């Protein structure tokens, strides 16, 4: 398999997952904005900027000169043509990568991505003010779910399938760690309020589709420690760090073994910490520090995948 084809399959799935993650972040951001608006003692700008902090785009947003309002933040992260990770640009990049490797995909996969792009253009044209709301976020998530379902149902289980899944799980792990990290900083800054904590933690769980998993696992009120434990160490939750790295390790073992030594080593190190670590050890080093370290190591793993496989596989 050519490295160019592998890279484009890998990146189209990362871009699509990134668009979905952005929709999830904006959706939970709107929930927090509504929560903080009911309490005048809270610093609204800090709440509004949370999606920017999670996505590491606060400086880029400030450089645009836009006012720090929730609608402006949403428009920037969803539609801004100059922001490379906006939902619009992610879907466009996903479609361009898919168009270049149509021969490595099934017809149904291509039609799903192309239809998503065409409908996005229609939505952009109809909404001159580029408004974003819960309906838009749900549509983005549904289109991402649809592509994964079509992929699972139609493509052969060989290298193209593995590279698509690899991009998905590396992107997803990064997103979960960033959300947890920022929510930790917010809780430390604002202190403990049981009612607000309940709604904030519930919103975090919903943002990664893990609220039902939490209830099934703990059958108790939402607790910050258990949320962290679930999203870091639980191997059955599809967006937990453990699950994502488990899948990544499996995929890397299905790829050619003559390359990828560095990527497999980094993945194994991360997965070992998740398999045998505990929340006590995490708190000893500091939850925020632990998650920042994970994001750094996950980026290094993605870089190793790029070097070992996407620039060298033949």
Provide the residue ranges of all domains of the chain, joining segments of one domain with +.
1-155, 157-314
And the tokens for 300?
Answer: 């290094």
pLDDT in tens, the chain (314 residues): 688 999 999 999 999 999 999 999 998 877 766 666 555 444 455 678 888 988 889 999 999 999 998 889 999 999 999 999 999 999 999 999 999 999 999 999 999 999 999 999 999 888 756 668 889 999 999 999 999 999 999 999 999 999 999 999 999 999 999 988 876 655 555 555 555 567 788 888 988 999 999 999 998 889 889 999 999 999 999 999 999 999 999 999 999 888 889 999 999 999 999 999 999 999 999 999 999 999 999 999 999 999 999 985 44
DSSP annotation of 307 reads I
pTM of the predicted model over 0.85? yes
How many beta carbons lie within 10 A of that of residue 11, not counting itself? Answer: 22
Residues in the chain, overall count: 314
User: What are the residues whose beta carbons fall under 8 Å from the beta carbon of 235, sequence distance 6 or more?
Assistant: 242, 243, 246, 275
How many beta carbons lie within 10 A of that of residue 302, not counting itself? Answer: 21
């Amino acid at each position: 398999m050519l490295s160019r084809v592998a890279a484009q399959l890998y990146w189209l799935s990362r871009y699509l997952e990134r668009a979905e993650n952005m929709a999830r972040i904006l959706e939970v951001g709107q929930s927090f904005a509504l929560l903080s608006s009911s309490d005048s003692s809270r610093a609204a700008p800090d709440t509004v900027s949370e999606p920017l902090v999670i996505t590491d785009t606060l400086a880029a947003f400030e450089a645009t000169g836009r006012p720090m309002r929730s609608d402006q933040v949403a428009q920037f992260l969803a539609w801004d043509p100059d922001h490379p990770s906006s939902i619009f640009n992610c879907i466009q990049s996903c479609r361009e990568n898919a168009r270049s490797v149509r021969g490595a995909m099934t017809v149904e996969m291509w039609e799903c991505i192309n239809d998503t792009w065409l409908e996005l253009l229609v939505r952009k044209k109809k909404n001159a003010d580029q408004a974003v709301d819960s309906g838009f976020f749900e549509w983005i998530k549904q289109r991402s779910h649809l592509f994964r379902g079509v992929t699972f149902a139609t493509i052969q289980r060989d290298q193209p399938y593995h590279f698509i899944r690899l991009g998905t799980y590396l992107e997803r792990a990064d997103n979960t760690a960033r959300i947890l990290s920022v929510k930790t900083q917010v809780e430390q800054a604002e202190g403990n309020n049981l009612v607000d904590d309940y709604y904030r933690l519930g919103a975090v769980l919903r943002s990664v589709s893990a609220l039902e998993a939490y209830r099934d696992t703990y059958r108790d009120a939402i607790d910050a420690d258990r949320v962290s434990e679930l999203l870091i160490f639980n191997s059955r939750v599809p967006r937990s760090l453990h699950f994502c790295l488990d899948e990544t390790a499996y995929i890397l073992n299905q790829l050619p073994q003559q390359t990828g030594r560095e990527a497999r080593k980094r993945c194994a190190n991360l997965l070992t910490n998740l398999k045998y670590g505990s929340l006590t050890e995490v708190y000893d080093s500091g939850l925020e520090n632990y998650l920042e370290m994970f994001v750094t190591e996950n980026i290094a793993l993605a870089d190793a995948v790029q070097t070992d496989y996407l620039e060298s596989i033949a």
